[in-house]
């Protein structure tokens, strides 16, 4: 499970792209409200919708998994 501050990441990238959350939602065949709900989730988990949103903003997403050491 990957955790991040998705809300800040998406809002910053939208500003950089000159795009609103509503426009981003339309670009991924969704709504601005859905985008807002995804990025405000408390657990901040990177999921398919987040990857689609970032790709719609012009970013290539590469997920890397690292196995934790058991302590």
**Which H helix or E strand runs over 69?**
none
Separation of alpha carbons 5 and 43, rounded Å? 9
CB 54 within 8 A of CB 46: no
Residue spans of the domains in the chain: they are 6-56
Position 39 scores a pLDDT of 81
Considering the chain, what is the average pLDDT of its residues? 81
Split at pLDDT 50, 70, 90, the class of 71 is low
What are the tens digits of pLDDT across the range 38-53? 888 777 667 788 888 8
Separation of alpha carbons 47 and 45, rounded Å? 6
């Amino acid at each position: 499970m990957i955790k991040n501050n998705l809300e800040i990441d998406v809002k910053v990238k939208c500003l950089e792209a000159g795009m609103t959350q509503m426009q981003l939602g339309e670009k991924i065949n969704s709504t601005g409200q859905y985008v807002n709900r995804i990025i405000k989730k408390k657990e901040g988990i990177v999921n398919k919708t987040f990857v689609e949103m970032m790709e719609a903003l012009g970013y290539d997403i590469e997920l890397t998994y690292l196995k934790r050491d058991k302590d």
